[in-house]
């Protein structure tokens, strides 16, 4: 059985972030909401600041900028983003596949 990393919510006043079991900050505590999503063998964190969403990977890299109205991640780790009526796609590494 594979050992999975454990993540903890961080709080700074009314803002949220994520740290791992080694007390390393993965997502800084500057967001209104953070949601953990597992896709394939990767872990992602969808963050929300006001009405905009973005995505961090499990290493703490911001792979999708926090500027989209909607973000979703499929089982393969591909990330669909929406801004206004336009839809784009990022791969699991944060590379733009379909630009907006």
Name the pTM for this structure: 0.93
| pLDDT, averaged across the chain | 95
Query: Can you spell out the DSSP letters for the chain?
Result: -PPPP-EEEEEETTEEEEEETTS-EEEEEEESEEEEEEETTEEEEEEEETTEEEEEETTS-EEEEEEESEEEE-TT--EEEEETTEEEEE-TTS-EEE--
Indicate the domain borders of the chain: 7-98
Residue 1 pLDDT > 50:
no
pLDDT of 92 strictly over 60? yes
What is the structure's pLDDT at 2?
A: 59
């Amino acid at each position: 059985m594979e050992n999975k990393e454990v993540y903890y919510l961080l709080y700074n006043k009314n803002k949220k972030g994520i740290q791992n079991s080694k007390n390393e900050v993965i997502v800084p505590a500057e967001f209104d909401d953070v949601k953990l999503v597992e896709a394939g063998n990767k872990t992602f964190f969808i963050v929300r600041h006001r009405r905009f969403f973005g995505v961090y990977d499990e290493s703490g890299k911001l792979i999708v900028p926090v500027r989209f109205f909607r973000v979703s991640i499929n089982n393969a780790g591909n990330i669909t983003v929406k801004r206004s009526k336009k839809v784009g796609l990022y791969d699991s590494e944060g590379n733009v596949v379909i630009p907006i």
